[in-house]
Structure 1
């Protein structure tokens, strides 16, 4: 694991136990983002960077008992918090790097990633890995329960032109990775970029 990964892991490990209590009102936003993916019963979906698993119940409800839900995260403390919350009942939990997934190629119908891409040392590599494991036509949702400007302000920052989540940066990065950006929303109370896996 590289130094960048260690930094991300340490950042989230320190916050894992209190994570859900810090953001207790986010569940409806997660549910709405999952609904926007239009998942179907029986599908296979990955929550990449699942953290404490707040999206996992909605993903399970969307694909039903015959579907497969995988929750993957780099930080074991976050996965343990997901287990304590009982969300391991909704998904198979895996400790792994988002850019090196232990998943067969072209095996997923959808990938959900909340608050993930701007924490990755190489977002383009992760998007290519997502494309590898996704079937043609699979959907990718990059989500945050608040928009970029709101999040930046919360931390006393301003938006930066090189932000990977900004549409002018994200759209070509997705295209180069095998995805087509289908919808982009960045408002005060929601960030959601929906993309579709292109054939080939």
Structure 2
């Protein structure tokens, strides 16, 4: 796992401040230092990267953010920007321009806002130490940002953009990269968050870069999706999910099965994929929701059909996912695992032999389903498709 560390152009190339390096390494993260002007291909720079730390960059508050930060925001890669790096984050076009704030004399005490208590990063942190003072000068807080730390003259000393980008204006490092006790605690929490989100970050980054062309590239697979959905045999008026829906290619077929009185919900962890689904008219067939497919915001036994195409290979813990899907499925419901290619075809395409430990191999999938609340009642690993259908086991 790796974190890109964006730092001032005046710093020595290839050198990360020792404190930053130590804290990242303690969380199992390798640091990849870059300077803003050295990044020619932002997407390539973020390949196999789970987070971004932006230190002082030497940019003025109004300067446009580097392409690397824009790319990270678009791909939902976690970002922590400190000191003048926070001003760069706030000025990045993807963050959205916000209102200015008054200059401060640098003496006012920093206080956390009520929103900090439930923030994924700031929640549980102590009060900023007395030695941390408000950042001087005016800068804009991005539109829609959640303010997490404030002072009397400057309401945007720390903020969050979306679910995973934080700017901390007052936490300026010194020349040796020291952040102080409170700053090191915050960076340590960020490193732990990056490590915990690593699987999902990689998935979102991978699919974000491909979302724009996904529908056109795989449009020829639509008939295979329709045939697979037909195997679910859902009754009219039922509720169906397209989990890991991507651009929602299964949603029209699900809608035809459940009819106008039924409900169809397309769920994906990558917002860019959901935006592509909306562009292709999938909202005519159901609702779209950004969510982790292993922690669904749905009540127990509230759906009747779960369609998951190519999803099991992309979840960090497949058995936990199967257990969650069993939780939300009503008695008599159906789970359909599908892929428009068979296992052997996919292995050959990637230049590797079939893996006996593959969870989707029947001798592995059947017991995995049974221990997570399912009974396998159909299994096909053909040349042109993979399909496994399961029904919920009776609840005790």
Is the pair's TM-score, using the shorter chain for normalization, greater than 0.5?
yes
TM-score when normalising by structure 1? 0.97
Question: Which residues in structure 2 correspond to 1:8-47 (within 5 Å)?
Answer: 8-47=203-242
Structure 2: distance between partners of 1:33 and 1:48: 14
Structure 2: distance between partners of 1:61 and 1:77: 26
Structure 2: distance between partners of 1:32 and 1:178: 26
Q: Quote the offset at 1:157 in angstroms.
A: 2.4
**Where does residue 149 of structure 1 map in the other structure?**
344
More RCO (CA 8 Å, sep 6+): 1
Question: Which residues in structure 2 correspond to 1:75-86 (within 5 Å)?
Answer: 75-86=270-281
Structure 1: distance between partners of 2:346 and 2:249: 18
Q: Quote the offset at 1:198 in angstroms.
A: 1.4
Structure 2: stretches of 5+ with no match in the other structure: 1-195
Structure 1: distance between partners of 2:217 and 2:237: 33
State the aligned residue count: 200
SS at match of 1:194: strand
Structure 1: distance between partners of 2:381 and 2:212: 29
Question: 1:187 aligned to 2:382?
Answer: yes
Structure 1: distance between partners of 2:207 and 2:355: 23
Q: Quote the offset at 1:3 in angstroms.
A: 0.6
Q: Deviations over 1:68-122 (max 9, x none)?
A: 0010000001101100100111111110011100111111111000000011110
Question: 1:53 aligned to 2:239?
Answer: no
Question: Which residues in structure 2 correspond to 1:114-129 (within 5 Å)?
Answer: 114-129=309-324
CA RMSD in angstroms, aligned pairs only: 0.9
Higher helix share: 1
Aligned 8 A contact 1:33 1:143 in 2: yes
Structure 2: distance between partners of 1:100 and 1:62: 26
Q: Runs of 4+ in structure 1 displaced over 2 angstroms?
A: 155-158
Q: Quote the offset at 1:155 in angstroms.
A: 2.2
TM-score when normalising by structure 2? 0.50
Aligned 8 A contact 1:118 1:163 in 2: no
